[in-house]
Amino acid sequence: MKKEKYSEYHNHKINLEDQRRKFSVLPHVCEYGYITGCVGLPLADRIFFQNKLEFCLRISCCQDKLIHSINEKEYKTSFPHFLVKPPRGSYCLKEITQRDVFYILYPPETMKYFQESGIITENLCWEVELTPEVSNLVNLLKEMMDHSATFGFADQVDLRCFQLVQELVLMNQKKESQQSLVPENINQIISYFHMHYSDKFSLDELIEVNGFSRSSFFRNWSRYYKISPAKYIMNLRINEAKRILAETNSSVEDIAIALKFSSATYFCAVFKNQCGCTPLQYRAQKRID
């Protein structure tokens, strides 16, 4: 990615809030885009972010370092860097900047999902590298803007944006970890969970294939995730159940069978415990919305 001369301001974005998903169980992207020549002005006092969760890849800048604070914590970062903007979080910038950014917006309620997944931690800003993987994902998402009418577009955006965020988060975790291979192996297991959450599989075999003993896996898992693997998988199943309830007329019994719950009664109990309402109440509410 070439550094711009910052002679002109350009804002390219696409809104996905009204787009329906087909199969995705990942958090739904509200909007994504890229801005060249974005001007940030120094602030006499803090401002507050919009009521969205934003992930921002600041690619290049007219200066070498940026001094800013998020939720009262100060960061001094070079470019490129990755920034997490919590919904309605506070922000303060020390000096004027002109920069190029790529951003992704999610609904504010996804903040909890990203925290429980270990993707958002106390550290909200870190320096990154524009590796081939990162550059390819950014360029792919840019190219996809011209094909928003294609089948499954929103699902593809959800997937690619999640991959980009995950890539940049893992980059930071690798730097912080003395065992740089651990995040990669954990990520492989997470990817398997996302592909097979409704299948029966042996966690012990999956752990072994990825180079862990049972004790080392759970020890390393807890370094990156605040919930257990079983809870993580259950969250994926419930998220898919919510999608099916909102978008189809499938019966509760059929959903329970498809997602491999032992019974419809157990499915309803788990769903109500996590969502605060029964599956049918959830469907009725979504139809009203």
Task: Please check whether residue 4 lies inside any domain of the structure.
Answer: no
Q: Which residues pair with 105 in a beta bridge?
A: 31, 54
Please state, in angstroms and as integers, the Cα–Cα distance from residue 283 to each residue in 8, 155, 245, 247, 255, following that order.
47, 21, 5, 9, 13
Q: Are residues 98 and 112 in the same domain?
A: yes
**Does residue 40 register a pLDDT over 70?**
no
Give me the mean pLDDT over the 27-38 stretch: 92
Q: Are residues 38 and 117 in the same domain?
A: yes
pLDDT digits (tens, 9 = 90+) for 172-194: 887 766 444 557 788 889 999 99
| Residue 273 confidence (pLDDT) | 94
Between 166 and 40, name the one with better pLDDT: 166
Q: Are residues 211 and 267 in the same domain?
A: no
Residues with Cβ within 8 Å of 257's Cβ and at least 6 positions away in sequence, in order, are: none
Please state, in angstroms and as integers, the Cα–Cα distance from residue 173 to each residue in 168, 239, 277, following that order.
9, 26, 36
Q: Are residues 113 and 59 in the same domain?
A: yes
pTM: 0.59
| Residue 177 confidence (pLDDT) | 63
Share of the chain above pLDDT 70, in %: 92
Task: Please check whether residue 1 lies inside any domain of the structure.
Answer: no
- Our separate counts of H helices and E strands in the chain read 10, 10
Cβ-contact 130, 153 below 8 angstroms? no
Task: Please check whether residue 3 lies inside any domain of the structure.
Answer: no
Cβ-contact 261, 267 below 8 angstroms? yes
Long-range pairs for 146-155 at CB < 8 Å and ≥24 separation? 148/14, 148/19, 151/22, 152/22, 152/23, 153/19, 154/16, 154/19, 154/20, 154/21, 154/22, 154/24, 154/28, 154/29, 155/21, 155/22, 155/23, 155/24
Our CA angle for 184, 101, 138, nearest 5°, is: 45
| Residue 41 confidence (pLDDT) | 64
Q: Which of 77, 82, 48, 52 is nearest to 65 (CA)?
A: 77
**Does residue 1 register a pLDDT over 60?**
no
pLDDT digits (tens, 9 = 90+) for 201-224: 999 999 999 988 999 999 889 888
Give me the mean pLDDT over the 12-20 stretch: 92
Q: Are residues 86 and 192 in the same domain?
A: no
CB atoms within 10 A of CB 158: 23
Q: Which of 67, 70, 66 is nearest to 87 (CA)?
A: 70
Between 37 and 279, name the one with better pLDDT: 279
Q: Are residues 53 and 196 in the same domain?
A: no
Task: Please check whether residue 284 lies inside any domain of the structure.
Answer: yes
**3-state secondary structure labels for all residues of 103-118:** EEEECCCHHHHHHHCC
| Residue 94 confidence (pLDDT) | 77
| Residue 6 confidence (pLDDT) | 43
- Angstrom distance (rounded) from CA 241 to CA 268: 11
Q: Are residues 43 and 108 in the same domain?
A: yes
Q: Which of 126, 57, 48 is nearest to 86 (CA)?
A: 48
Give me the mean pLDDT over the 3-13 stretch: 64
Task: Please check whether residue 193 lies inside any domain of the structure.
Answer: yes
Q: Are residues 89 and 162 in the same domain?
A: yes
CATH number at residue 237: 1.10.10.60
CATH number at residue 71: 2.60.120
- Angstrom distance (rounded) from CA 38 to CA 130: 19
| Residue 185 confidence (pLDDT) | 86
Quickly tell me which residue has 């139809």 as its tokens: 287
- Angstrom distance (rounded) from CA 161 to CA 1: 18
- Angstrom distance (rounded) from CA 288 to CA 199: 32
Among 133, 149, 172, residue at a domain's last position: 172
Q: Are residues 160 and 213 in the same domain?
A: no
pLDDT band at 116 (very low <50, low <70, confident <90, very high): very high
User: For residue 240, what are its two tokens?
Assistant: 């898919």
| Residue 22 confidence (pLDDT) | 83
Torsion of CA 240, 33, 38, 59, to 10 degrees: 80
pLDDT digits (tens, 9 = 90+) for 250-288: 999 999 999 999 999 999 999 999 999 999 999 998 877
List the domain range (segments joined by +) for residue 192: 181-226
Q: Which of 59, 178, 56 is nearest to 124 (CA)?
A: 56
Give me the mean pLDDT over the 156-170 stretch: 96
Q: Are residues 149 and 165 in the same domain?
A: yes
Rg (alpha carbons) of the chain, rounded to whole number: 20
**Does residue 9 register a pLDDT over 80?**
no
Q: Are residues 110 and 247 in the same domain?
A: no
Task: Please check whether residue 258 lies inside any domain of the structure.
Answer: yes
Task: Please check whether residue 5 lies inside any domain of the structure.
Answer: no
The mean pLDDT of the chain is 88
pLDDT band at 3 (very low <50, low <70, confident <90, very high): very low
| Residue 133 confidence (pLDDT) | 93
**Count of the separate structural domains present in the chain:** 3
| Residue 2 confidence (pLDDT) | 40
Q: Are residues 154 and 278 in the same domain?
A: no
Torsion of CA 107, 112, 113, 114, to 10 degrees: 90
